[in-house]
Structure 1
Amino acid sequence: MTDTTTFGLHEGSAPSGRRTRLVVHFGGHKTGSSSIQETLQAGNDPKNGFVFLFCGHPNSSAMMQNAFLLPEKLLSIRASEATRADLPAMRDWARTHLRRIILEGIAARPEGPLILSAESISSFVPEEVDMMLAFFQDLPVEPEFIGYIREPAAYLRSSYQEILKLRMPPNPVFAPADATVLPLTHHAVVETLDRRVGRERVQVFIYDRASFPEGSVVRHFFSLLGVDPGAFTRIDSNQGMSQLAVKLLYTYRRLGDCPFANRGPRRVEHKFAEDLGRLQDVPFELHPELRDKARAVNSHIFGWAEARLGRPFPEPEAKAGTGIRSEADLLRFSDEELAKLSAHAAEFGISTADLSADPRAVAEVLCRIRQSYG
């Protein structure tokens, strides 16, 4: 396929009455996708004006990856569970399953759209987008796409927390200065979709809580669907962590001398991280110096955002002299922070008699806490 290839999905290609509206929410990453997905799943009923396509999990990212990723890319993320010989069967199963779920959704005759949500689509390259669109074209659906783009420094701050929550080999545990110089391409899929299906079928918004109804991306998304969000209980999921929680997780991942510090069941690792996240402290922020570096590395996105999205990214709040700047900041603990960790350990009946400001002593206590999760 060439960059000018389209898929007959522009207006006039097929009467809308013969196709069911399919809203594809592609994230992107760190823009409230989990909250959107879990709220949709909780209210999933044709009587509510939509059918949410559930592929075994509210986030259909894994299904979409298995169905449409290029072989080398898919193998790189499934290396622990599949070989190259397994890929054709994996792809066929995913596409067959996805087709069945879409047809079942159509059969439910919703008054509103079918909705599919998978933020993995935000990382699709043009060839993967082409395979996805060809798949949709073979079904009686009319796809449109909705996504959000986050300001680069805010995105990296949020994704850094996610790296620490679910650290799995071979992903490195970045020091903050390394994590913030990563070049981002999470706007590229928007350009591809614009070319393939037309901008009129691709709605993209800056992720800015100040501009959303009641500060909620969930309410904003429901308004785009034409569904009354007041009829649903909003689920706020995967919230940001405090600075202390980030410091503790980094110390655990970097220095923890226990087999599960960098390898463990994702569900258990997530629960461990979420419990640490409840420790009260100031919100995790990057030092302004690192924020400026992240914005400079990704300066190309700023001009694109204003031209494509119709407004600039919001400026981050200036907090001179605050925030995490280096690994040394992450491994330094005050008496107050140690007291909070000690109180948390006591909830599990774990002694902290050997706890000190030495980060290895902190990591040892964290390993004992984590071990109590089984």
Structure 2
Amino acid sequence: MKRIVLHVGMHKTGSTAIQASLAGYRDGVFEYAPLPPAVEADRQRAYNHSFLINTAFDRGHKRAGKLLKFGVAASDFDRVQAQCRDALEACLRASEAEVLILSAETITGFDPDSTRELGALLRQYASDIQVCAYVRDPFGYVKSATQEWIKWGYTGDHLHPLSYRNNFVHIEDVFGADCVSYRLYRREKLLNGDVVADFGSWIGLKKEPAHRLEANVTLSTDAVMCIYALNSHPMFSSGSGLLRNAWRELLDVHRRLFPGRFEIPARLVAREVDVWDLAWMEARLGQSLQLPPYSEKDMDCTGLRDWLGRTTPEMLTTIRGELTGRGANVPEDASLVELLFQLYLECIRSFSDLQLDYRKFSADRYLERYPDVRQAGLYPFGHYVLHGHDEGRDGS
């Protein structure tokens, strides 16, 4: 192997589309690293090397939350970490390509020691390491990253933070500033407006990827407002694959019910921008980054919670109509959050092929039959979904 191309994102710059499109790519010179999933449950997204590389170099298991979500016990972290590191090294050792491509946007969140360990391992197999990073304008990045936070449970009042320097200074220190290349992620700047084609041209691929995936489609402002409101409701969740898939279905339903794009006031984003940090990145790009001007509607917005709390009666009507269309019994006095939670239960119901049907579930009878659930103070249907059904408990 003569060279390694290390694509490190940054987040929200089409990384998933690049990774999924390059999965299995070989052209006689370049090869996209065929790494296994870090855990079997993540097989569908093994094209993203982030989880495996993150797990392999996670010092002190600081970012072990995803392992827990996939049902890996804390006592098994060291074993899984060793497996991930062995898998990466086996791939590096076995590759016969002149150029091996690794893509892991989580590297921008590594601490210096983890980055040094990764660099030391890669240099055992290639002396030439080219680090590639797309960089997004502050407004687009903060908006997109905040939406992603909310999609997966965020309920706070602050937008996703932004620090270009913190993302990349440790990477430059380890691999050398001359070996780290940056490119501006704006549609009009990308080759044919396509990040996959642009990345292939940037690193010199010999042919187009055989398939394409356009991932992480945005939700509208109304859809995000609904999800943000639901996040504040007491929920049940775990490493259950069924619940992850039911939540994804819920997001798809909101995308269908509330089409459009997500927007937040520019004033809120400006609070997250450090002008010196902006200048640091502009010097590397050789061009200016953009911040949008304020509008009149920005001026009375006090925070994220204020902005996303401005739900409308039309949202309640739309969700109620969706539930009615599914044949659900909708309480007359239900609030928006209660309707949203019922819609989540509908997604669980449909995704489980009616095996987990909240419509036929009796919370009172379940608690009467199983006093251990009552004593533990657990939400009855949540216990049934996560444990009771598999244990053969009667949920009727």
TM-score calculated relative to the size of structure 1: 0.78
Q: Distance in 2 between matches of 1:315 and 1:27?
A: 21
Q: 1:242 Cα shift?
A: 0.7
Structure 2, unpaired ranges of 5+: 38-45, 353-396
Q: Distance in 2 between matches of 1:148 and 1:246?
A: 26
Mark the structure with the bigger radius of gyration: 2
Q: 1:226 Cα shift?
A: 1.4
Q: Per the alignment, do residues 235 and 74 of structure 1 end up closer, same or farther by CA in structure 2, a change over 3 Å counting?
A: closer
Higher RCO (C-alpha 8 Å, min separation 6): 1
Structure 2 counterparts to residues 255-334 of structure 1, below 5 A:
255=233, 257-260=234-237, 265-295=243-273, 298-316=274-292, 319-321=295-297, 326-334=304-312
Match of 2:34 in 1: 54
SS in 2 for 1:46: coil
Q: 1:209 Cα shift?
A: 1.9
User: Contact 1:23 / 1:145 at 8 angstroms: preserved in 2?
Assistant: yes
Match of 1:118 in 2: 104
Q: Per the alignment, do residues 258 and 94 of structure 1 end up closer, same or farther by CA in structure 2, a change over 3 Å counting?
A: closer
**2:55 pairs with one of 55, 58, 66:** 66
Q: Distance in 1 between matches of 2:330 and 2:287?
A: 51
Q: 1:75 Cα shift?
A: 4.9
User: Contact 2:159 / 2:304 at 8 angstroms: preserved in 1?
Assistant: no
Q: Percent identity?
A: 23
Partner amino acid, structure 1, of 2:95: G
User: Contact 2:220 / 2:262 at 8 angstroms: preserved in 1?
Assistant: yes
Match of 1:367 in 2: 344
Q: Could you report, residue by residue, the CA deviation over 1:251-304 in whole angstroms, capped at 9, with x for unpaired residues?
A: 21112x553499874333223213322334441111132122222xx3332111
Partner amino acid, structure 1, of 2:92: I
Match of 1:36 in 2: 18
User: Contact 1:332 / 1:359 at 8 angstroms: preserved in 2?
Assistant: no
Matched, 1:241 2:211: no
Q: 1:125 Cα shift?
A: 1.8
Q: Which moved more, 1:133-142 or 1:53-62?
A: 133-142
Match of 2:314 in 1: 336
Match of 1:155 in 2: 141
Partner amino acid, structure 2, of 1:311: Q
User: Contact 2:221 / 2:261 at 8 angstroms: preserved in 1?
Assistant: yes
Partner amino acid, structure 2, of 1:147: A
Q: Distance in 2 between matches of 1:210 and 1:362?
A: 41
Q: 1:93 Cα shift?
A: 1.5
User: Contact 2:108 / 2:171 at 8 angstroms: preserved in 1?
Assistant: no
Match of 1:200 in 2: 178
Q: Per the alignment, do residues 355 and 246 of structure 1 end up closer, same or farther by CA in structure 2, a change over 3 Å counting?
A: farther
Q: Could you report, residue by residue, the CA deviation over 1:64-89 in whole angstroms, capped at 9, with x for unpaired residues?
A: 11211211524566466343x64443
Match of 1:227 in 2: 205
Q: Distance in 1 between matches of 2:288 and 2:308?
A: 32
Match of 2:86 in 1: 96
Partner amino acid, structure 2, of 1:95: R
RMSD of aligned Cα (Å): 3.0
**2:3 pairs with one of 21, 37, 42:** 21
SS in 2 for 1:294: coil
Q: Could you report, residue by residue, the CA deviation over 1:188-210 in whole angstroms, capped at 9, with x for unpaired residues?
A: 34222323332332111232222
Matched, 1:179 2:159: yes
Match of 2:378 in 1: none
Q: Distance in 1 between matches of 2:322 and 2:28?
A: 42
User: Contact 2:55 / 2:64 at 8 angstroms: preserved in 1?
Assistant: no
User: Contact 2:22 / 2:32 at 8 angstroms: preserved in 1?
Assistant: yes
Q: Per the alignment, do residues 364 and 275 of structure 1 end up closer, same or farther by CA in structure 2, a change over 3 Å counting?
A: closer
Q: 1:130 Cα shift?
A: 0.6
User: Contact 2:146 / 2:159 at 8 angstroms: preserved in 1?
Assistant: yes
Q: Distance in 1 between matches of 2:18 and 2:201?
A: 12
Q: 1:145 Cα shift?
A: 0.9
Q: Per the alignment, do residues 229 and 122 of structure 1 end up closer, same or farther by CA in structure 2, a change over 3 Å counting?
A: farther
Partner amino acid, structure 2, of 1:46: R
